[in-house]
Amino acid sequence: MKKTVHLTAILLLLATFLVACRSSTVSETSTSAESEKKMITVGFSQLGAESDWRSTNTDSMLEALSKENGYTLIYKNGQQKQANQVTALRMFIQQDVDYIVLAPETETGWDFVLKEAKDAGIPVIIVDRRVDVEDRSLYSCWVGSDFELEGTKMAAWIHEYTQFKGIADEDVHIAHIQGTLGSTAQLGRTRGLQNAAREYGWNILAQESGDFTEVRGKEVMSSFLRQYDNINIVYCENDNEAIGAISAIEAFGKKVGPDIENGEIMVVSFDGINQDAMQYLREGKISCIAECNPLHGPRVQALIEMLEKGEEPEKYNYVAETLFSSVSEIKSITVGDKTYDVDIVK
């Protein structure tokens, strides 16, 4: 009798356990199915990690396309090689992601892989730099900066400043440290300078890529200094290069600053993200920085949300940007019929 009671109790317990197990499995599957349904899978191919701008940009993307915001993000760092980015895109296609986000290293060479994405029915959003493809329908939209405008504004600032100082255009001798050749940021910023140099008759003494890095910026500047003794302006295409260039100039025994009539070498650059560069700006070691905003994460998120709703975003989405300077005399610059205030940083 005792034995039977025991057995019944055990059987009862077992049954309750099984029911409990089953119902918990059912409810688990249904919640995970629900949340999986809502999660959007994004493959993000970042070009590399060359600068402070880039790390801030990566952080912004990872933060916006987070689990909490409903995204399953597959992030790939291209290590500065387009071939790696193409491989990443092919992997995303194979994984059948919902969206591909591409921050391309250089503009050309994307036609084939973007066609593969299109054939697979995966929308592609381009961020930061652009792609130069024959068929623009290969990507949904782009968000980033107007790099040529950044360069044109910087050139206008240099012109205002040299005019204000009474320096003749033919006495403007520029060393130009370019970004990664063939990238939209390089092409636009270089165009902005070259157009102004042609217009005003400035002398661009030398031009070489510093690959947007501090190390290369320093190397390139050291070699310029050994070749030319009349450089009075250094146009760096990002802050990391500027920091490298400044250390090269100081190691060479020259002073950096805006006082070019008295032998200082004036440094200008782009980004405004690197805290050391902002400190140099306050100290007058960098005279002007054209802002380049890297916080594209929420912008890409908004574009994906539009596409999710079946809406068609603008093809090209530009971010508004300013100029930072510690030279308080130049309060604004004019490009075409537009006047831009300069943010005086103290």
List residues near ligand GYE by CB under 6 A: 50-51, 53-54, 128-129, 185, 212, 238, 270-271, 292
Smallest distance, Å, CB 191 to ligand GYE? 14
Smallest distance, Å, CB 200 to ligand GYE? 24
Comparison of 260 and 277: residue with beta carbon closer to ligand GYE: 277
Comparison of 55 and 203: residue with beta carbon closer to ligand GYE: 55
Smallest distance, Å, CB 128 to ligand GYE? 5
Distance of alpha carbon 154 from alpha carbon 134, whole angstroms? 31
Burial (Cβ within 10 Å: 0-12, 13-18, ≥19) of residue 187 = buried
Smallest distance, Å, CB 79 to ligand GYE? 13
Smallest distance, Å, CB 273 to ligand GYE? 8
Q: What is the C-alpha end-to-end distance of the chain, expressed in Å?
A: 92
Angle value at C-alpha 160, between 158 and 166, nearest 5 degrees:
100
Comparison of 123 and 179: residue with beta carbon closer to ligand GYE: 179
Comparison of 53 and 110: residue with beta carbon closer to ligand GYE: 53
- Residues 6+ positions from 80 with CB-CB distance below 8 Å: 47, 48, 50, 105, 180
Comparison of 130 and 285: residue with beta carbon closer to ligand GYE: 130
Amino acid at 211: D
Helix, strand, or coil here: 77? strand
Distance of alpha carbon 228 from alpha carbon 226, whole angstroms? 6
Comparison of 219 and 271: residue with beta carbon closer to ligand GYE: 271
Smallest distance, Å, CB 295 to ligand GYE? 12
Tell me the chain's radius of gyration from C-alpha atoms: 27
Smallest distance, Å, CB 183 to ligand GYE? 6
Comparison of 50 and 160: residue with beta carbon closer to ligand GYE: 50
C-alpha distances (whole Å) from 252 to each of 3, 217, 221, 223, 326 are 96, 14, 10, 11, 24
Strand partners, 338: 335
To which residue do tokens 């240099």 refer?
158
